[in-house]
Amino acid sequence: MCGIAGLASTTGADPEAVRALCARLTHRGPDGEGFHTDGQIALGMRRLAVIDPAGGAQPVHNEDRTVTAVCNGELYGYQSLRARLRARGHHFATGSDSECLVHLYEEYGEELVHHLHGMYAFALWDSRTRRLLLARDRVGKKPLHYRRTPDGTLAFASELKALRALPGAARTLDPAALDHYLAHGHVPAPLTLTEDVRKLPPGSLLTWQAGQIHVRRYWTPDFTPRPAPGPGEAAARARALLTEATRSRLVADRPVGAFLSGGLDSSAVVAAMARLSDRPVRTFAVGFEDPAHDERAHARAVARHFGTDHHELVLTGADAAHLADLAHRFDEPFADSSALPALHLARLAAGQVTVALTGDGGDELFGGYRRYALMARYGALPVPAALRPLTGALGTGLVARSTTGTRRRAAGRLLETLAVPRDRRYAHLMACFTPAQRRWLRTGADDPATDPDAPLLHTLAASRATDPVNRLLEADTLHYLPGDLLVKLDTTTMAASLEARSPFLDHHLLEWAAGLPAPLKVRGTATKHLLKEAVRPWLPAHIVDRPKKGFSVPLAHWLRTALRDLTRDLLTDHTARSRGLFRPEAVRTLLAEHAAGQDHAARIWALVQFELWARHALDQPTAPAAPLAPAPPQRV
């Protein structure tokens, strides 16, 4: 795991500029650095040593040093790759997984990506063809940003913050990207909030040659229905694939642990780890003083069942008050409030281990969110146009008088969703600010004509899945997973110099699950049916069958108490108003209604994160935040 950066220019790349880029990625790789320059290109990396700590330095080269690569991530099963490549006459200079890249390129060219199993973002330079290749893993676990100048120069880095340090980097806000942020709570690839920088989308390749750039997608999940296995066969296959995915992610020359919430996904991963390990698994959990949001009791139950070496911490409103530090860790504003406990959880784990396995992806593979069942049952329900305003108003009223996670709020969101055209209902259900709310909030300045829902609508319309549940799973795999969950996971763990690995996101498991019939995943209101049956032999029934809670935060309460004055001052002061982006009266209304008991927590948090980001990224660009100091161990 590391951070990578580089430059490509027909007039010659400046190696000192690449060193400056890498200096801003030190938190991603505190164990060392490496550089390579060859006229038109300069490559650099910062290393977090996990495989072959002593000898696995980068950049890596082929035998005659005509092919050079830097890689962020891990290639699983690299030992078998090395054996295959040795059998074809290749020689290795290190014991690292990354060295496989240059030899695979010699064999397969750009098609090497189809032979990779893991999480990665890499840059590979072929000095014979003078061509640079950038690639990102299938689902987008590892990030990669790039900037192209009018003269054809390409700059790239693991983090956008590094590219903002380059001379001439724009500080201009992309209005279309802002609208996407308000709609989704994050900025989806390929957009960024900075006009001159783009994200390489997941599962994509970028080639640069003689100043010309070409981007193409090399992988998308296939949700075409396949013949259904029997329930017992499907459960056994899911269990076997999860076991193998976990086994490959336990390979490391540094200590390995796991995040444990006590939910089904993280508990299943810990169960697989315990079955594969000859020593107690180290597990880490975060909780809250508010019992409505605290799942530590469930995590402790799983820890006791498997005899793990368990550690935990408790977050309070005082911890949440460090908002500027949280925003500074992210390249862009990020409205998912679970980033706060995720950051503290990563800090806790980094004090004990270098690698942490997570349960991310289980919901998207096996249908774990309640919204899948709701949309399958009600998503196509016809509502006459004349009744839609009343339906929406009833829903809005219920939402305003309820708190996150309650049945009343779910019913209100459903009614709001039924008030919009059927093809837009899922986008509406997932929205941070709905289109009407965005129109009410925005001043109209630089109001973009783009539709932030268009990519999601296209995915749903083009899906090969024949069932509404699988269409939603495909949409979330391509949009919500890489845009929200994996950004949160990479950013928070890398801030603590911790490598996160997610067995559920093994592409063999993902591709198999994609083709399964939806009734194996969601049955009526019951979610994640197949996964529950698969792990039932591993876990106590009270863990398997308890309702899903999710990684929720007592945000609504904090915004009325510990964070109330801070957020009010931040969103209504002269600096915020002078941007001219949001109507001051709309912002004041959100704050006042929330303080009076309505729940606008998600929208207020989105505005807070945007304003904090703007102050350090647009107004007064600052140096990157220092790596998080590990939290002191708190063994339970």
Could you report the per-residue pLDDT of 214-224, keeping only the tens digit for each? 999 999 999 99
Q: What is the pLDDT of residue 398?
A: 87
CA distances from 238 to 363, 414, 545 (A): 14, 32, 18
Mean pLDDT value of segment 588-593: 97
DSSP state of 169: -
Instruction: Band the pLDDT of 82: cuts 50, 70, 90.
Output: very high
Is the distance from CB of 505 to CB of 361 less than 8 angstroms?
yes
Is the distance from CB of 338 to CB of 237 less than 8 angstroms?
no
User: What is residue 192's three-state secondary structure?
Assistant: coil
CATH 3.30.1240.10 assigned to 2-172+190-217 = no
Q: What is the pLDDT of residue 577?
A: 96
Q: What is the pLDDT of residue 3?
A: 94
Q: What is the pLDDT of residue 323?
A: 84
For the chain, counts of helices (H) and of strands (E) = 29, 17
Q: In three state form, how does the secondary structure of 430-452 look? A: HCCCCHHHHHHHECCCCCCCCCC
Is it the case that residue 454 has pLDDT exceeding 80? yes
- The model's pTM is 0.95
Q: What is the pLDDT of residue 445?
A: 47
As a whole number, the mean pLDDT across the chain is: 93
Q: Is 451 annotated as a binding residue?
A: no
Q: What is the pLDDT of residue 633?
A: 54
∠ CA 430-435-437 to the nearest 5 degrees? 95
Q: Pick the residue with more confidence: 413 or 286?
A: 286
CA distances from 102 to 118, 480, 559 (A): 16, 32, 51
Q: What is the pLDDT of residue 298?
A: 95
Mean pLDDT value of segment 549-576: 92
pLDDT in tens, 126-166: 999 999 999 999 999 999 999 998 888 999 999 999 999 88
Is the distance from CB of 480 to CB of 469 less than 8 angstroms?
no
Q: Which two tokens stand for residue 232?
A: 């017992």
CB count in 10 Å sphere of residue 154: 21
Instruction: Band the pLDDT of 400: cuts 50, 70, 90.
Output: confident
Mean pLDDT value of segment 50-79: 90
- Closest by CA to 564, choosing from 611, 586, 596, 533, is 596
Is the distance from CB of 494 to CB of 28 less than 8 angstroms?
yes
Is it the case that residue 447 has pLDDT exceeding 60? no
Instruction: Band the pLDDT of 635: cuts 50, 70, 90.
Output: low
Q: Indicate the pairing of strand 212-217 with strand 309-315.
A: unpaired
Q: What is the pLDDT of residue 292?
A: 84
Mean pLDDT value of segment 76-95: 95
Q: Which two tokens stand for residue 569?
A: 């001052």
The residues that are catalytic are: 2
pLDDT in tens, 170-213: 888 999 999 999 999 999 999 999 989 999 999 999 999 999 99
With left for phi above 0 and alpha for psi between -120 and 50, is residue 292 left, alpha or beta? alpha
Q: d(Cα 416, Cα 552) in Å, to the nearest integer?
A: 22
Is the distance from CB of 479 to CB of 427 less than 8 angstroms?
no
Is the distance from CB of 74 to CB of 50 less than 8 angstroms?
yes
Is it the case that residue 631 has pLDDT exceeding 90? no
CB count in 10 Å sphere of residue 297: 11
Is the distance from CB of 158 to CB of 5 less than 8 angstroms?
yes
Q: d(Cα 445, Cα 451) in Å, to the nearest integer?
A: 16
Instruction: Band the pLDDT of 59: cuts 50, 70, 90.
Output: very high
Q: d(Cα 241, Cα 220) in Å, to the nearest integer?
A: 20
Which residues on adjacent β-strands are paired with residue 44?
A: 5, 35
Q: Which two tokens stand for residue 399?
A: 């939402």
Sequence-ordered strand ranges (E) for 218-370: 256-259, 282-288, 309-315, 355-357
Q: Which two tokens stand for residue 176?
A: 């279309």
Please report, for the chain, the start and end positions of each structural domain, with discontinuous segments joined by +.
2-172+190-217
- For 240, residues 6+ apart whose C-beta sits below 8 A from its C-beta are none
Instruction: Band the pLDDT of 384: cuts 50, 70, 90.
Output: confident
Instruction: Band the pLDDT of 19: cuts 50, 70, 90.
Output: very high
pLDDT in tens, 86-122: 999 999 999 899 999 999 999 999 999 999 999 999 9
DSSP state of 226: -
Q: What is the pLDDT of residue 630?
A: 66
Q: What is the pLDDT of residue 30?
A: 87
User: What is residue 17's three-state secondary structure?
Assistant: helix
Q: d(Cα 467, Cα 242) in Å, to the nearest integer?
A: 24
- In single-letter form, the type of residue at position 466 comes to T
Name the strands in the sheet holding 355-357, side by side, starting at the edge strand that comes first in the sequence.
309-315, 282-288, 256-259, 355-357, 499-501
Q: How far is CA 457 from the centre of its chain?
A: 21
Q: d(Cα 100, Cα 259) in Å, to the nearest integer?
A: 29
Q: Is 353 annotated as a binding residue?
A: no
Q: What is the pLDDT of residue 440?
A: 95
- Closest by CA to 32, choosing from 13, 17, 52, 16, is 52
Is it the case that residue 387 has pLDDT exceeding 50? yes
CA distances from 296 to 293, 339, 366, 473 (A): 9, 18, 24, 29
Is the distance from CB of 606 to CB of 432 less than 8 angstroms?
yes
- Closest by CA to 303, choosing from 265, 346, 261, is 261
Q: d(Cα 428, Cα 70) in Å, to the nearest integer?
A: 41
Q: What is the pLDDT of residue 446?
A: 46
Is it the case that residue 622 has pLDDT exceeding 70? no
Q: d(Cα 33, Cα 31) in Å, to the nearest integer?
A: 7
pLDDT in tens, 263-276: 999 999 999 999 99
